[in-house]
Chains A and B, each alone.
Chain A
Amino acid sequence: MTSQVEPLYAINDLVIDLYAATVSVRAVDGVSLHVMPGETVAIVGESGSGKTVSTLGPLGLLPEGVTVDVRGTAKAGGKDLVGMASARLSQMRGAYFGVIFQDPISALNPMLKVGPQLAEQARRFCGLSHEAARKEAVSLLARSGIPDPEDRYNRYPHEMSGGMLQRAMIALALAARPKVLIADEPTTALDATVQAQILELIRQIQRDNDIGVILITHDIGAVASVADRVVVLYAGQVAEEGSVLDVLTSPVHPYTRGLLASVPDFRAEDRVEAHEIPGLPPNQIKLEPGCRFAERCEHVEPQCRVERPPLRTIAAPGTPHRVACPVVIRREGIAVQ
């Protein structure tokens, strides 16, 4: 994996503080992650764990109404997005990244037709003429699995179903031929029957275009079916990361184990009952030393409460498997590189 291929998007030691009217929240607390060309990385965690903020924060895509402070680096296409002038950042957002949001019904502007927005993107970022851009938009709709794309081109969002809208959203995200596709919980708002289709579509697009995909989700099933690598976030920090196979079949961090155990019927031998992690995630308003999971952890030791657990790489072939829990590593005698 240590070839000369550069990651498409790499965030390093990212710290994001959010300031709202009454509270300051440390949403991301020293996260590093990256996505390679042709790779799908899943970011997993509870709501509030910093999944969305860490990936979309450097892009300036957090909702207005809070002040966002970003530290660290977020490199894309050889440039650092942190501290980039807003006009250039806008250009990067349009040309380099495509974003799919959770709820297509609220994420698509009710006053704008779907098709022309796609054509506009193709025109602005791929230098197509009006006519070519229109053709490209129709073709994009078709490739996104939308039947009768010529007709849908002139439709408003309210004239389409949720599943169709998410397909349109995907087409919109791809219209500028981005290098990185960020899918922020793309199936959460959809019917169960449509979810699998949308995931399949994302996977297919990833293969056809050889782009990097970041899939933000709390759906372990989705991770298993489409991702190559997983990053597990807890309270704004990386708890564990590695290949899907390593993390899902031999998780090490107590939080990852708890998360997997809370998924009903995930592993065949474990189908007795779904476990629940006791307690609630910390509020991230106060910065406290030590492991953020300590309060809920069954393996907790005194040092956990004062020392931040380092991210250690476990000896395993292939994709590095990293875990931020020295206690379990020591107790279970897991070899470290």
Chain B
Amino acid sequence: MRLHKKIFKRLILLFMTFWLSGCAHFTKNNLIEEISPITFLSISKGDKGKLKISTILPPLSKEKKIVMSQEVSLLKEGVQKYNLNFYQEIKSGQMRMLVISEELGKDGIMSIINVLLTDPDISLRIYLVIVKGNFEEYLESQLDKDENFDYSFYRMLKHYEEKNQGELTVVNLHEFKNLLYTPYSDPFLPVFKIQEDGVSYEGTALFQDDKLVETISSLDDRIFQLINNDHYLEVLPIPKFEVVLGHVRSKIIVDIDSSYSTMTYTVNIDTRIEEYRGEKQLFDPKELENMKKNIETHLEKQTHELVKKMQELKVDPLQLGVQTKRPFSKPMEEKKWIEMFEKMDIKIKYIINIDSLTDANSKRQNL
């Protein structure tokens, strides 16, 4: 009798271990040789408001691959249709990227983001990418050339995400969700362009809530990396002055007046001259000072234009609205902030500190 009691107690303990941990008593068949863990999904606009979902199957193996596309009205329906058409079950636990077409981005991607967020299988660290052009066609053309195109693409994003390399915008689902749902902020995503010879980085897509409104590229994108995303640039070429600044690091000081009508946006930059092909004698401190002034004005003008554009589009990816928060006071409503932001006078100021070059040839005075 005592033995029964003992066994009974132990069984209860065992049962509670599972029950309290929230583990299901049934397990899924996840044998890796029987499943297809897809690494990315590409979503674009299909006919009649449907979604076109594509991926490469089988992923991760050396077998012959195909691009499988399904037109569906719901995201999960697509995955289910894959299963009906492929000999292995599709699993999304290894998903690393979500490629969204530009057109779909303009329509809004809130529902897609929500589906991904609620799926416990999908990691919050998957990268979101906007693509200009027909990605499916490009995939088809790559199948024979590049066996693991998806993997190389993922490695590229991963490389630039870690340690802020200061080259491209990389945003994962978690960051995107935070920017999307946090007051006073708007999300942004990297944009890649399909060209005949490959995929190239185009710039950064700015979102108003979940809708893509603008793509900024070239110098604008560099400035965006510098003042917001990475606060670091490996190189910043300024062709106008035939100069390349290297190891550019920035520190931002934002000051807003009490009436919320003017904002001073000061960018402190530490850098050094990496390359110069102009005629000026940069060893001369005066000439260097002139060059510095020129660069400052140039960057101020460019940044001003960029911020102006943001004001016009009513997007605030720089999270400037956070500056209106004050202790012991109710935060401003986001709508009110955007209205204020539109009209705000934003003054941009650059303070550049260029590491002095060697003084071997400098014309020193008082000698």
Chains A and B come from one and the same complex:
no
Interface residues in chain A, defined as those with a beta carbon under 8 Å from any beta carbon in chain B: none
